[in-house]
């Protein structure tokens, strides 16, 4: 095989040609995968409880999602596993119809994601403004922290010094060495202390029993009928959309952190494939996990698919082989890790007084609304949609004022020339009709649109309404200066929109 072919094959695997030769990269990726796997266990169990299924179902889902997405995903080093957002969507399905229908829903959701990815839904990400992205990140940090609060409420007093000790280790240990990830050191040290001293605090084992064997593939236990499809389709579509939204937003965030590009289309299709595989292995499905991804990318410094693959693999090894040991890990250690992640995820620059003074009020409003909606609904997808819509409304309102009309009457007073400048669309064209002097103008009216652009039917309808009002007074209107796209749209729609304005 030629060197070019080797390079191309390596690039397709998401790895640089010299990647395998670098022991530092190996060490970083392996240790990052281990830290993520440890942090995944209690979260997967918690999400299983939200969905109303056995903890093993969530752990299996995290295993299959991570391993599959490491191969088929479009964003290197991003972690996909069982998530709270997906658990909330499919919980009613399990409650009302049982596990078989839940698994069938996961598989159908995966099919929907593959279809949506293939038709280019990822391109919609370009319409998510930066202020929404900032709000998404900040809301995420708040949610990660809030998820730790129950673990700090009504617990034995040693939990609090353990959390403080864990935070201190993660802050100061990197000053000694960065060879071993500080979160891993924190987890190991706190586990040794609690076990050796016999300190009674909540542990991972208290969250639920860990599985003792690997998941086996199989078909969902449901009748394969149209009635089943009618039951699961609405939930599957909701899960597909929520999963894609979170995954694509997380991928974009990782792009920014690592200053690299990823294929959002491949990621969308990959999420679908991962959910299909997860469903056939009896898992509860999932999507990209922002918290675990931040541990992997930002805290541990992972950059390749290996860390994602190992996170899933280590998860099963830890559960099946080292279950008794893992069960003794104090929750305080994992809480400390997630609090550190929350602190590191929050965009502190976005709320600095200097930034707030310079930032337009509309941008701040969009960011705050996104944060409030996400935190209030515990749903990142809803917050992003509401934030994006708010940003579009503010933008439309701002741009609407950019359409101006000025009138100049010819010296012979037989003709008036109106010069229209700016963007004409539904928001700006609504005010257009009222800016002409229908009664006082001479018999010939010239509307010059050489400095304007017609974007939609509302603008054509507004121009038709202006012509109609002049015609009712026996006056003629001539529209000039249209650029080619505007002329094409005007030519197709003028006179065809009666009653639409």
- The rounded distance, in Å, linking the Cα atoms of 139 and 177 is 32
Determine the pLDDT at residue 304: 92
180: left (phi over 0), alpha (psi -120 to 50) or beta: beta
- The rounded distance, in Å, linking the Cα atoms of 403 and 428 is 6
Q: What is the pLDDT of residues 388-403, one digit of tens each?
A: 999 988 888 877 776 7
CA distances from 81 to 6, 309, 401 (A): 31, 11, 46
Quick one: pLDDT band at residue 174, thresholds 50, 70, 90?
confident
Is residue 206 scored above 90 in pLDDT? no
Quick one: pLDDT band at residue 501, thresholds 50, 70, 90?
very low
Evaluate the CA torsion angle 259, 263, 268, 269 in order and state its sign: negative
Is residue 17 scored above 60 in pLDDT? no
- Within 10 angstroms of residue 349's Cβ, the number of other Cβ atoms is 9
Q: What is the pLDDT of residues 420-454, one digit of tens each?
A: 998 898 888 877 888 899 998 888 999 999 999 99
For a pLDDT cut of 70, what percent of the chain falls above it? 94
Structure pTM?
Answer: 0.75
Residues with Cβ within 8 Å of 97's Cβ and at least 6 positions away in sequence, in order, are 231
Q: What is the pLDDT of residues 346-365, one digit of tens each?
A: 889 999 999 889 888 999 99
Q: What is the pLDDT of residues 296-343, one digit of tens each?
A: 998 888 999 999 999 999 999 999 999 888 889 899 998 898 888 888
Pairing of strands 80-81, 404-409: unpaired
Q: What is the mean pLDDT of residues 268-278?
A: 97
Determine the pLDDT at residue 367: 95
- The rounded distance, in Å, linking the Cα atoms of 310 and 225 is 38
For a pLDDT cut of 90, what percent of the chain falls above it? 52
Is residue 120 scored above 80 in pLDDT? yes
Is residue 253 scored above 70 in pLDDT? yes
Q: What is the pLDDT of residues 299-311, one digit of tens each?
A: 888 999 999 999 9
CA atoms within 13 A on the CB side of 86: 38
DSSP-assigned letters across all residues of 395-449: HHHHHHTT-EEEEEE-TTSSEEEEEEEEEESHHHHTTTGGGS-TTTS-SEEEEEE
Determine the pLDDT at residue 500: 43
- Between 409 and 174, the more confident residue is 174
Task: Please choose, from the candidates 253, 281, 251, 271, the residue with its C-alpha nearest in 3D space to the C-alpha of residue 263.
Answer: 251
Is residue 190 scored above 90 in pLDDT? yes
Determine the pLDDT at residue 347: 86
Query: Please, are residues 285 and 278 in contact by the beta-carbon 8 Å criterion?
Result: yes
């Amino acid at each position: 095989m030629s060197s070019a072919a080797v390079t191309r094959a390596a690039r397709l695997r998401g790895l640089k040609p010299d990647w395998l030769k670098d022991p530092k990269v190996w060490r970083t990726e392996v240790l990052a995968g281990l830290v993520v796997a440890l942090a995944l266990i209690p979260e997967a169990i918690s999400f299983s409880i939200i969905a109303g299924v056995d903890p093993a179902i969530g752990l299996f889902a995290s295993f299959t999602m991570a391993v599959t997405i490491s191969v088929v995903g479009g964003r290197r080093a991003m972690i996909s596993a069982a998530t709270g957002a997906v658990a909330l969507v499919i919980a009613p399905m399990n409650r009302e119809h049982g596990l078989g229908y839940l698994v069938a829903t996961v598989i159908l959701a995966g099919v929907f994601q593959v279809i949506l990815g293939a038709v280019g839904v990822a391109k919609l990400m370009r319409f998510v403004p930066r202020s929404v992205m900032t709000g998404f990140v900040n809301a995420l940090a708040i949610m990660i922290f809030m998820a730790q609060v129950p673990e700090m409420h009504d617990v034995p007093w040693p939990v609090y010094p353990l959390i403080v000790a864990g935070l201190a280790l993660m802050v100061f240990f990197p000053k000694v060495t960065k060879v071993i990830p500080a979160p891993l050191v924190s987890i190991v040290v706190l586990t040794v202390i609690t076990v050796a001293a016999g300190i009674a605090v909540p542990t991972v084992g208290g969250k639920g029993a860990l599985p003792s064997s690997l998941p086996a593939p199989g078909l969902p236990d449901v009748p394969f009928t149209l009635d089943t499809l009618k039951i699961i389709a609405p939930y599957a579509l909701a899960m597909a959309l929520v999963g894609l939204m979170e995954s694509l937003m997380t991928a974009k965030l990782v792009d920014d952190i690592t200053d690299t590009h990823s294929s959002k289309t491949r990621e969308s299709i990959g999420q679908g494939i991962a959910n299909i595989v997860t469903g056939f292995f009896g898992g509860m499905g999932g999507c990209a996990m922002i918290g675990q991804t931040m541990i992997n990318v930002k805290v541990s410094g992972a950059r390749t698919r290996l860390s994602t693959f190992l996170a899933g693999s280590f998860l099963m090894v830890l559960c099946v082989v080292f279950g008794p040991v893992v069960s003794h890990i104090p929750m305080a250690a994992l809480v400390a890790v997630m609090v550190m992640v929350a602190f590191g995820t929050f965009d502190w620059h976005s709320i600095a007084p200097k930034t707030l003074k310079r930032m337009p009020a509309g941008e701040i409003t969009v960011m705050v609304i996104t944060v409030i909606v996400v935190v209030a609904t515990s749903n990142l997808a809803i917050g992003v949609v509401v934030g994006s819509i708010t940003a579009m409304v503010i933008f439309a309102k701002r741009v609407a004022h950019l359409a101006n009309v000025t009138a100049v009457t010819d010296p012979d007073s037989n003709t008036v020339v109106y010069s229209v400048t700016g963007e004409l669309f539904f928001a700006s064209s609504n005010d257009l009709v009222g800016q002409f002097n229908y009664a006082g103008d001479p018999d010939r009216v010239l509307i010059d649109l050489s400095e304007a652009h017609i974007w939609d039917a509302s603008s054509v309808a507004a121009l038709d309404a202006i012509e109609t009002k002049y015609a009712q007074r026996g006056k003629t209107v001539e529209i000039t200066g249209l650029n080619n796209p505007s002329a094409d749209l005007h030519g197709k729609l003028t006179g065809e929109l009666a009653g639409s304005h």
